[in-house]
Structure 1
Amino acid sequence: MPSHQPYLIPNDSTVFEEEIKKSVFITQLAHTPSIDAAKAFIQSVKQQHSSARHNCWGFVAGRPTDSMLWGFSDDGEPSGTAGKPILAQLSGSHIGEISAVVTRYSGGIKLGTGGLVKAYGGGVQQALKLVQTIEKKITTLLTIEVDYSLLSLIQNLMQQFGATEFACEYVTSVRLTVEIECLNEANFVQAVINKTGAKALITKESDAEAS
């Protein structure tokens, strides 16, 4: 997925709870836009369920396809039975900026490795069905400097391409800072050049992300 493409992120937190062979599994999902946010969420759940034997987790802390921002932990469960199944469900959901912590209160009956994989992965799978998502649009900032006589023309083009005014300075000319979706940037810039007869000075400020 190209870096300018929008992607889905959670709009709220979700909790799913089930009992399997007397073990209670509590799955919590949250929006975590960075690794630091993911770690903070994991820590808060661990404090909330400090008496639980296991708080296993996984996160996708950015764009869904960016595996550099993935992480997981079995938190004492047998290797590969918790963290990996949790992360597999998250990464397969195509939702970005999401973390899952699955808390287990053991009931004394062993589930076996296959049972654990199914319990941890299944809990996240069920929680993902409940999560509400919104689209995160990837935007960029452009600065456009034009003569006052061309301002209304620029404003019409902004409306046409879904651009919004970020800042504006009125000096000898008008200096507009405009936020626009990266997907629309090239067509917008070309339209400004064409409609103003190349009389607009356009510079790229930075890349940003807006939900």
Structure 2
Amino acid sequence: MSDRYPIPAGEHRAQQEISRSRFIATIAPAATVEDAQAFIARMRAEFPDATHNCWAFVVGPPGSTGRVGMSDDGEPHGTAGRPMLTVLLHSGVGDVAAVVTRYYGGTKLGTGGLVRAYGGAVQHALESMPRAERVEWIDCVLTIGYGDVTVVQQLIAGHEGRVAEESYAADVTYRVTLPDARRDAFAAAVLDATRGQALVD
């Protein structure tokens, strides 16, 4: 399971009109099921007069089905939440929740039309949605000799790390924050560059 993947950069909204019904798709980042539920509640509060507020969410890496949810919110069973969830699962985006708000315009779409409308509304919003990257960060503490400072600073930068704290005494100590995915390669590179003299915690 990757600890780095695309997520929504923030809340994003797109609207479509289909057979006089207005479909408003709002997408938001959701790192936990509680985040998703809070977002859904917020959308219901924002659009209390809507005919339906259907929703779906995927918590975790893109395509993972361990923590998902969906609701048709009164639309015929399987015509809203399921197609929305399917689009989210195939979007290549993780930690994502979507609410599609519908204002009924007087023309029935039928089950196939509803599936296309709800899935399409999410797809339409995803196409214009700004993305960010979820990265799992860790801290590690390095103790090195003064002669190794320059090479170790280059290694920190090369592994997307940043020095959070530093102290200079008999040895040099750095507390470094870096992506978890780079932890092992970084530790190996530091030990190699310092001929095994560094302490990496």
TM-score between the two structures when normalised by the length of structure 2: 0.89
Task: Report the secondary structure of 2:134's partner residue.
Answer: strand
Aligned pair 1:57/2:55, yes or no?
yes
Structure 1: runs of 5+ lacking an equivalent: 204-211
**Structure 1 range deviating more: 180-189 or 111-120:** 180-189
Deviation at 1:53, TM superposition (A): 2.1
**Matched letter for residue 42 of structure 1:** I
Deviation at 1:73, TM superposition (A): 0.9
Partner residue, 2:143: 145
Distance 1:120 1:181 in 2: 36
**Matched letter for residue 2 of structure 2:** S
Alignment of 1:6-21 (within 5 A): 6-21=4-19
Partner residue, 1:168: 166
* Structure 1 residue corresponding to 2:121, chosen from 120, 123, 130: 123
The percent identity for this pair of structures is 38
Aligned pair 1:198/2:174, yes or no?
no
Structure 2: runs of 5+ lacking an equivalent: none
Distance 2:64 2:146 in 1: 44
Deviation at 1:8, TM superposition (A): 0.9
Partner residue, 1:104: 102
**Structure 1 range deviating more: 134-143 or 53-62:** 134-143
Deviation at 1:176, TM superposition (A): 1.5
Alignment of 1:2-41 (within 5 A): 2-4=1-3, 6-41=4-39
Question: What's the CA shift string for 1:24-50, capped at 9, x where partnerless?
Answer: 211111222222221111111101110
Distance 2:27 2:159 in 1: 35
Question: What's the CA shift string for 1:88-137, capped at 9, x where partnerless?
Answer: 11111111122110111122332221111111111111111111112333
Question: What's the CA shift string for 1:141-161, capped at 9, x where partnerless?
Answer: 221122344333321321233
Query: How many equivalent residue pairs?
Result: 201
Distance 1:156 1:118 in 2: 52
Partner residue, 1:77: 75
- For the 8 Å contact 2:64–2:89, the answer to whether it is kept is no
Task: Report the secondary structure of 1:155's partner residue.
Answer: helix
**Structure 1 range deviating more: 129-138 or 115-124:** 129-138
* Structure 2 residue corresponding to 1:157, chosen from 151, 155, 174: 155
Aligned pair 1:114/2:121, yes or no?
no
Moved over 6 A (4+): none
Distance 2:39 2:131 in 1: 18
Alignment of 1:86-101 (within 5 A): 86-101=84-99
Partner residue, 1:46: 44
Task: Report the secondary structure of 1:108's partner residue.
Answer: coil
